[in-house]
Structure 1
Amino acid sequence: MGTLRPERRTRVDLAVSAAILVVLAVAALVVWAKSPVRHTDSAQSARPAADVAPATTVPERLSVAWRARSTATAGPSLARSVVVTAADGAVVGRDPATGDELWHYRRNLSLCAALAAWPTGTNSVLAVYRNSRGCSEVTALDGSSGQRVGARSSDADDHVQLSSDTGYVVSQGPTRLETWGSNLVRGIEYGRVDAPVKPDVQPGRTGCRLYSSALGGDRVAVIERCDRDTGYRLTVLGTVLDDDEKVQQYGSSLITEGTAGPPPVLVAMGSSGIAVYDGGADPPAPASDTPSGSLAPSIRRFTTDGVPSATNLVAGDPSPPTGPAVVTADGLTSYFTGKSTVILDTQTLRPIYQVPGTIGSGDTMGGQLLLPIPDGISVRDAATGREIRTIAVPRDGRGDAPVTLRTLGGAVVEQWGSTVQALRAS
């Protein structure tokens, strides 16, 4: 056999090869320049933050330990052992005692919302960023180290609010909501769906505006108003699709006769019921448990199918403040109506007592209840609401903004507006 001669390359061949390499290099450079990684700054903790032991007593005195700005959280956001603040595209995990930065995650996008979820489980911090598809880019971080552990992206509204329970998170905007599990896999999308994969997956209502939502086990409740509705509606859905890959609806009915006043607000949802704050601006729907024509602020309770069950009158404004978050701890759920703090049993959502003269929602510490008051903190017996003593606390620059108070170990963490303030024993 003759020897095969090596293939000869012409100048044209070499020029084409060079051009292909240049095109590939330019394309790779463009992809890199536009990629999220290119515009992300992440600094993880050298070692995971140590768990914080619960406080056994309430300090006699408290002083301000540190302050930070947090525009993307509705109230103090607490992971298992860090305080999370979020502003200017950055989510920061801070030492609760000193405020020192333990880790951060920063992008060149606007932050829509941030939430510490499942501190006793996966201990995740969720950061939601805005792009051309709305508040659609979600990053999950480990709460103790700041390590990126997951991401998702989908269509979303330009503004969303996040809330969670032990199993799911709901991201709700004015026209649509989604639920996610701790793995960030979507359970359902509800409301506006611009490009549905399957027809007839959603309930038949159209043109719905969503006002508030709450999670409870395998269900999510939402206050909404849809086309042709004469009043505000309470709808209860499953957090995941049913066996036919459809959004499962457990109940949906009008709970007010009109819409002249502010919509009722979902306070909480548990395994045995739903609590809704109704400021009394509109008469309740005729099928309601509330007396016809009643126009008084109340906590209205419903079954997990959305059926009215009981009503408790409370002191409150027609439209409660939007800033304070609901706080749940040690079997108690705390909700600020604008005129008082209502304490509910977390299991039944029955109001146990209300405390007038407060300025926000509170938390437990050392078996006692701490509520924010104008000049400081009221320390109360958690079972009865009886005041034991008060602690003077400065809140410079607060004005009349409502305060949400939470505790983490020996630290008391408050938020009003975009200010997070941590207090410690002095």
Structure 2
Amino acid sequence: MAPGTPERPPRPPRLRPERRRRSDVVAAVALTVALIGTAVVLWATGDAANTTSQPAAEPIAPPPAATQVPTALTEAWRAPSGATVAPVVAGPAVVTADGGLVVGRDAVTGEERWRYERNRPLCAVAAGFPRADDGRGRVLALYAEDSEWCSELTALRPGTGERAGASNPDVHPGTRLLASGSSVVATGTDYLEVMRSDLVKTLEYGAVPVPVQVDEQPRPGCAHASTALGSDRLGIVERCPDEASDRLTLVATDGEDGFEKPAVDFSVPLPGRGAVVVAVAADRVAVAVPGPPRLLVYDHAGQLTGEHPLDAPESDLTDPPGGAAPTTTSDGRVTWWTGSRTIALDERDLVPLWTVPDALGPAAPYADALVVPVPEGLRVLEPVSGTVLFTIPVARPPGPVVPATIGDVLLEQRGGDVVALRPF
């Protein structure tokens, strides 16, 4: 060894390889097979394996705008849509939903442009968050986890059908998705949830399935007879077993103390039972009560600001299906279908403006007018006064009709079908 060269450390003794017994090899192989099998089962039963997503190759083009109300319409197409209660118009698409399938369609032709399907039934489908995605909004598809829970919510981009988010609410079948501004509520007879546009929960109200904190809910034992959503407030008619009358409660959709503790603006008893909350405005909430039928308007402090008679039979004031009164909003007016009448309310103060008798559903805007479904077709109204201009004949089976429009296409939800009508 040359001078100055560091000594090489001694080489460690060579260890004899450990002898593996046959039983060790068999156990290792069995463990590997079990892990692979578990992974295969998880993949086969997971969401990805049971989901078909076929986005559009190119975004759907919107239909031409309606420049005037036609005197005649013809059926352009129809499609099954048993999972919707009203035609779903989101961005440039008309969306139909049936079974576990959600389809984005060209409004003019009805051609399928994208689809999203899962191997479980839909609980509800609606449009929401109109300011999202450069004003195109979202399609919200809520799927059932089992026979008792609707717990898988997916947001889709309406132009292409691409996934844009997901969440897991805990509501029961029969729920409705009501959207307003940047909020959506999943209704329920004893529990409801509000989510914002990123599908993060901002409010839970009622009998919370798995409460993290106890004693945060004001009336968990009360039934929710009806619900209406405003831009940042939720109106609820509650029916409590220990109270002789219904009560109207107004809650913030996004509480300062978190979603577990509702921020209640007010909760006041109503005169008797059978109330239906109709609409929530920026500083007003309207509720219809029987005996005789009238509309009570409250401010957001719970003070009664107006009482207006309703030209509707008392039999119309029943708990609405899904806990939501059929309403539409356009051009400063809320139109409410009572079950036999369509009543227009001023969108700001919720004062009744005019009434259409013998109506089959709420109104929809078309060009510079409103159209209301009636047994003989579509009654065309001047929006401010409610004056009848003329009636467009439409042959259809009897039953409720919920209209909507996109461009010059008029859509009708007739039971489990969506029917598209165009001028001719």
TM-score over 0.5 (shorter chain): yes
TM-score normalised to the size of structure 2? 0.90
Match of 2:31, SS? helix
CA offset digits 1:401-424 (Å, max 9, x no partner): 121111111100111221211100
Extract unaligned runs of 5+ from structure 2: 1-10
Alpha-carbon distance in 2 for matches of 1:54, 1:183: 31
Q: Which moved more, 1:173-182 or 1:73-82?
A: 73-82
Matched, 1:216 2:217: no
How far has the Cα of 1:59 moved from its partner?
A: 2.1
2:71 aligns with: 60
Matched AA of 2:422: R
How far has the Cα of 1:5 moved from its partner?
A: 5.9
Match of 2:82, SS? coil
1:264 aligns with: 275
Match of 2:292, SS? coil
2:6 aligns with: none
How far has the Cα of 1:4 moved from its partner?
A: 4.4
Contact 2:190 2:220 in 1 (8 A): no
Kindly name which structure, 1 or 2, has the bigger radius of gyration based on alpha carbons: 2
CA offset digits 1:74-132 (Å, max 9, x no partner): 21111011111111111111111111111111112121111011234341111111123
Alpha-carbon distance in 2 for matches of 1:19, 1:6: 27
Matched, 1:102 2:116: no
Match of 1:31, SS? helix
Matched, 1:167 2:173: no
1:408 aligns with: 406
Within the candidate set 91, 96, 115, 1:80 is matched to 91
1:70 aligns with: 81
How far has the Cα of 1:214 moved from its partner?
A: 1.3
Alpha-carbon distance in 1 for matches of 2:169, 2:335: 33
CA offset digits 1:8-41 (Å, max 9, x no partner): 5523443232112101011101111221222112
Q: Which moved more, 1:161-170 or 1:31-40?
A: 31-40
2:127 aligns with: 116
Matched, 1:383 2:384: yes
2:306 aligns with: 310
Contact 2:250 2:267 in 1 (8 A): yes
1:227 aligns with: 241
2:360 aligns with: 359
Matched AA of 1:110: P
Alpha-carbon distance in 1 for matches of 2:140, 2:266: 30
Match of 1:18, SS? helix
CA offset digits 1:112-155 (Å, max 9, x no partner): 11101123434111111112351111111111111111111132
Contact 2:130 2:181 in 1 (8 A): no
Match of 1:26, SS? helix
Q: Which moved more, 1:114-123 or 1:6-15?
A: 6-15
Contact 1:211 1:222 in 2 (8 A): yes
Contact 2:169 2:193 in 1 (8 A): no
Alpha-carbon distance in 2 for matches of 1:326, 1:53: 26
Match of 1:246, SS? coil
Match of 1:361, SS? coil
How far has the Cα of 1:308 moved from its partner?
A: 2.1
Alignment of structure 1 residues 277-316 onto 2, 5 Å: 277-278=288-289, 280=290, 295-316=291-312
Alpha-carbon distance in 2 for matches of 1:12, 1:194: 49
Matched, 1:319 2:330: no
* 9 and 392 in structure 1: CA distance in 2 versus 1, 3 angstrom threshold: farther
Match of 2:132, SS? coil
1:44 aligns with: 55
Contact 2:275 2:317 in 1 (8 A): no
How far has the Cα of 1:320 moved from its partner?
A: 4.8
Contact 1:206 1:226 in 2 (8 A): no
Alpha-carbon distance in 1 for matches of 2:205, 2:96: 29
Matched AA of 2:73: L
Equivalenced residue count is 403
* 240 and 422 in structure 1: CA distance in 2 versus 1, 3 angstrom threshold: same
Match of 1:328, SS? strand
Q: Which moved more, 1:37-46 or 1:161-170?
A: 37-46
2:4 aligns with: none
Alpha-carbon distance in 1 for matches of 2:301, 2:390: 41
Alpha-carbon distance in 2 for matches of 1:41, 1:111: 14
RMSD, aligned α-carbons: 2.0
Contact 1:320 1:336 in 2 (8 A): no
Match of 1:19, SS? helix
Alpha-carbon distance in 1 for matches of 2:384, 2:50: 50
Match of 1:240, SS? coil
How far has the Cα of 1:300 moved from its partner?
A: 2.1
2:217 aligns with: 202
Q: Which moved more, 1:91-100 or 1:5-14?
A: 5-14
Match of 2:40, SS? helix
1:348 aligns with: 349
Q: Which moved more, 1:151-160 or 1:414-423?
A: 151-160
* 201 and 52 in structure 1: CA distance in 2 versus 1, 3 angstrom threshold: farther
CA offset digits 1:274-325 (Å, max 9, x no partner): 12233x1xxxxxxxxxxxxxx2222221212333221222222323584673
CA offset digits 1:174-200 (Å, max 9, x no partner): 110000001000011110113211223
Extract unaligned runs of 5+ from structure 1: 281-294
CA offset digits 1:375-398 (Å, max 9, x no partner): 111112111111222211121xx2
Matched AA of 2:392: I
Identity of aligned residues (%): 36
1:285 aligns with: none
Alpha-carbon distance in 2 for matches of 1:60, 1:120: 34
Q: Which moved more, 1:58-67 or 1:299-308?
A: 299-308
